[in-house]
Structure 1
Amino acid sequence: MLQSRPRLRPSLRRASLCLVAAVAVLVAGCGGAAQESPRGEPQAVPVTTAVVESRPWNDTVAALGTVNARESVTVTAKVSEIVQRVHFDSGDEVAAGSVLVTLSGNQQQASLRAAEAAANEAEQQYRRGSELVEQQLIARASIDTLRATRDAARANVAQTRADIGDRTIRAPFAGVLGLRQVSTGALVTPGTAIATLDDIGAVYVDFPVPETRLSVVAPGQRVAGRSAAYPDVDFEGTVQTIDARVDPDTRAVLVRATFANPERQLRPGMLMQVRLEQRSRTALLVPEIAVIQVGRDTFVYRVREDETVEQVPVVIGVRDGGLAEIVEGLASGARIVVDGTGKLRPGMRVVEGSVQEVKSQSGDAVEPAGAPAS
């Protein structure tokens, strides 16, 4: 026996047909809009382009350096003795030869008086012997003995005075003293630190330079530096010397620059950011945001005459101030895409949002990423 199928209500059937038709129209309309313009041509992607130009460029090498005093020493005692008097306070500026500490030397003073008396007696004996030799009353060999005794007595006096001098500790050069480490009555021994002494009227800053830049570094070049303690102060110096050896671990060489420090702002041990300026040269520059890095590949999008784009592999040199140097891959006058590269593929048409020229905001450049660290 045949069974009849259930029939849909007329109202539900009409609603289903309308829904299917609407979906079909929507899909067809969206697909056509995404692929073609009203004229049936592929739509152009709006981008910002730039014209690449060669222009003068001042390279710099950026590094971290350490401040060192022009002269620096830790003042110590030479002998074991009691401190009799301290002649300075922490932070004093002293001249060369200034007395810093006097040690007790009563025993040495007594020894000096005895040595001077013996020397005077030996001198008198020598003079009498000389007179007797002239009168031929004693043998000439006797005067040689008297002369040796006199010379030994004089040497004993000099040695005793040197011992007394070791008990007067003086500043070896002019500079600024650090914190005082001893007090009156303290016992000091050879090597006991009394205070540090630094000549900081001018300071040295040692910083590493990659060996790849060694050929363009020379004494007399200008160096600019900044310290975190004085972020708004630019310190100026010059290269004084270059180390004779390259560090085999970092492949860098130490360069020493001299900085004037009349206001004593720079202190030994401070960290400084230094920039070593080099000779001006001509470089091909592009905005750094135009450079695309995918794995080990580096490229830019160049705009062709028909307003389509192509990927051009490039080699990057130095980077700074939002600019990158093109070493290989582009020529001056080429148009490249700066903004909007994320939605481009080779062969796509572009329309310019704006055209700009590549200009340096600061005439300097630093080492590219991957240079040896300081």
Structure 2
Amino acid sequence: MYSRQSGKALFPFIITLLLIFSVYLYLPSSHGEQTDFSKMSTQVSAHTVTSQENAVMIEAIGSARANQAIYIKSAQNDYVTDIYFKDGDLVSKGQKLVQLQSKQEQLAVKELSINLQEEKRQLNRLTELSRSQSTAKSLLEEQLSRVDATKAQLESATVKLNEMTITAPFSGLLGKREISVGAYVSNATIITTLDDISIIKVDFKVPEKYLAQLSVGMKVLTQNDAYPDKTFTGKVTHISSRIDFVTRSVEVTASFANKSGLLRPGMLLNTALELSSNQALMVPEKAVIPLQDKHFVFQIKDGIANRIEVHVASRNNGWVAIDEGLTDGQQIVTEGLIKIRSGSKVSVKG
């Protein structure tokens, strides 16, 4: 009769048999094909080493300003009779912008011109008389003084008349018109603004540790969010003579030719100052393996990846400049580094 105790005794034996059978199924047959892992290759991503320009850049935020910027105001007080510009006009140096009422000034110039002619006529008459000693020398000198005084008055009146016509002091872009015809303006009235945007200047700060490397003429790149795919190139035109004792930085000014007119005063610009530039073998930073104080890469040759030591000259924006250990045209592993070791067979994706 089958007992419960004998069943319990057989249970471990059955489990053992099942485990042995399972192992037997998964073990490769001595007569069948076996998997040769030594012939398998690991799939990796690679980069071909090339000689590229290695630029050391200092990035900063700068504010744009116009080459020249003023408020247009009047030197005289009077009523506006004519306005010759519209909002946002591009004007040339000397172009008429506003005409003030100038009838009184015109009459003053005309009157003084007539007076000067009369004084000169009197001077000529006295000069002829003095040659025959028919008049006193003092009268001649007095008349000469009158001529000079009238000339000065005429020049002053002419200047005042010219100031009744307001012109552009330099070429540039006008802002919004702040006055209308018939308005009374004084020397405190803002008529409009004028910005010379043919050149845009950008002020930014550089840490003082780079002061010895700074020089006028250095290359500067800048970008603005309004034009994310466009880079503007300029150069350093001024280096401040003082160090900011709070930020321990020096203010640098770069100038950019703005023929397209895309850059505007007040823009916030991302600038990059190029400290130095040279040709170097550039590799992605992710391909370099740091180990203590050394650096290594996996070089691919004939489908085999071997670890070689390299010397890192500099790093910049995810790229590393290598000056020892590699040559132009060699291929190195960039992805899949943790899956390989020196001597591993590899296949490059793509």
Flag whether TM exceeds 0.5 (same fold): yes
Q: Do structure 1's residue 212 and structure 2's residue 209 form an aligned pair?
A: yes
SS in 1 for 2:255: strand
Instruction: Identify the residue that residue 123 of structure 2 maps to in structure 1.
Output: 126
**Within-5 A mapping of 1:1-374:** 57-280=54-277, 320-322=316-318, 352-354=338-340
User: Aligned partner of 1:191: which letter?
Assistant: A
**CA contact 2:221–2:231 (8 Å) conserved in 1:** yes
SS in 2 for 1:119: helix
> How many matched pairs?
274
What CA distance in whole angstroms lies between the structure 1 residues aligned with 2:252 and 2:145? Answer: 56
What CA distance in whole angstroms lies between the structure 1 residues aligned with 2:55 and 2:108? Answer: 70
**CA contact 2:237–2:254 (8 Å) conserved in 1:** yes
What CA distance in whole angstroms lies between the structure 2 residues aligned with 1:289 and 1:217? Answer: 32
* CA 236–284 in structure 1, closer or farther in 2 if over 3 Å, else same: closer
Identity over aligned residues, as a percent?
A: 31
Gaps of 5+ in 1: 1-13, 15-54, 293-298, 304-316, 326-330, 340-350, 357-374
What CA distance in whole angstroms lies between the structure 2 residues aligned with 1:243 and 1:91? Answer: 33
What CA distance in whole angstroms lies between the structure 2 residues aligned with 1:174 and 1:153? Answer: 36
1:93-134 alpha-carbon deviations (Å, 9 max, x no partner): 111101111111122122222222221221111111111111
Deviation at 1:206, TM superposition (A): 1.6
User: Aligned partner of 2:82: which letter?
Assistant: R
Deviation at 1:191, TM superposition (A): 2.8
SS in 2 for 1:268: coil
**CA contact 1:96–1:173 (8 Å) conserved in 2:** yes
Superposition TM-score, scaled by structure 2 size: 0.67
* CA 119–355 in structure 1, closer or farther in 2 if over 3 Å, else same: farther
SS in 2 for 1:127: helix
Superposition TM-score, scaled by structure 1 size: 0.63
